[in-house]
Amino acid sequence: MDVPKDNWEIDPQRTAVVVIDMQRFLLDPDSPRNTPGARDLVPKINELNDMCRRLGMPVIWVLTIWRPDMSDIGLLKDFRPEVYSEWWSYEGKKGSELYKDLDRKEGDYDVKKIMHSAFAPGSSSLEPLLRGLGRDSLIICGIATDVCVLTTTSGAHMQGFKTFVVGDLTTTFTQERQKVGLEVLNMHFAKVMTFEKVQRELKQR
């Protein structure tokens, strides 16, 4: 059954691209946390960003970066092993860096977050940045679908942002989790679209 959000359209004048956690700790082959299929997303994320920049949409790279002692992340530290590694997303460590093949351009924005959701209170400056840029609509891609993508999208929804999730430009740790994550996103929080459909819609702008 169709619902009104199924008729949402992307308005470049009101939309920003938000790329979530495409960092070395989740993409590098040497990282113990590397996410299945994540590196395969890189070329199309670059293509999406280029297309959106040409239409005047800001590109925002959301990066999880923790203090080395995890003193500011609350209960999240209770869900992490007590391991201090170059491959965790600590300040100044290689795990926190944007993955090397992603094409970050001058004029893009970097936003650091410390919680799964970039919209959680105190997690990041994403919401005021979007308000300052005059954007009330988001195109979201990145990882992990059922963790940071899901929680950031639900937070955006609750703050009144229309959100378009590019489903095939997200991934997570199992196929089952990917399937369920996208179903939850599409049913409750966002319009989930394929990269091909997003491309087709943007070419009409």
| 82 band by pLDDT with thresholds 50, 70 and 90 | low
Share of the chain above pLDDT 90, in %: 84
Per-residue pLDDT averaged across 117-122, rounded? 97
From the DSSP assignment, how many helices (H) and strands (E) are in the chain? 6, 6
Provide the pLDDT for residue 68.
85
Q: Tell me the pLDDT tens digit for each residue of 162-202.
A: 999 999 999 999 999 999 999 999 999 999 999 999 999 99
Residue 109's CB is within 10 A of a number of other CB atoms, namely 18
CB 153 within 8 A of CB 165: yes
**C-alpha–C-alpha distance, residues 57 and 51, integer Å:** 9
**C-alpha–C-alpha distance, residues 41 and 160, integer Å:** 28
**C-alpha–C-alpha distance, residues 139 and 48, integer Å:** 10
pLDDT of 116 higher than 70: yes
**C-alpha–C-alpha distance, residues 155 and 85, integer Å:** 30
Q: Which two tokens stand for residue 18?
A: 């938000």
Provide the pLDDT for residue 78.
82
pLDDT of 104 higher than 70: yes
Provide the pLDDT for residue 76.
81
How, if at all, do strands 162-171 and 59-64 pair?
unpaired
Residue 106's CB is within 10 A of a number of other CB atoms, namely 4
Provide the pLDDT for residue 171.
98
Closest of 8, 30, 23 to residue 142, by C-alpha: 23
Domain 15-203 belongs in CATH node 3.40.50.850: yes
**C-alpha–C-alpha distance, residues 156 and 161, integer Å:** 5
Q: Tell me the pLDDT tens digit for each residue of 22-75.
A: 999 999 999 988 999 999 999 999 999 999 999 999 999 999 999 988 888 888
Mean pLDDT, the chain, whole residue set:
95
> Which amino acid is residue 138, in one-letter code?
L
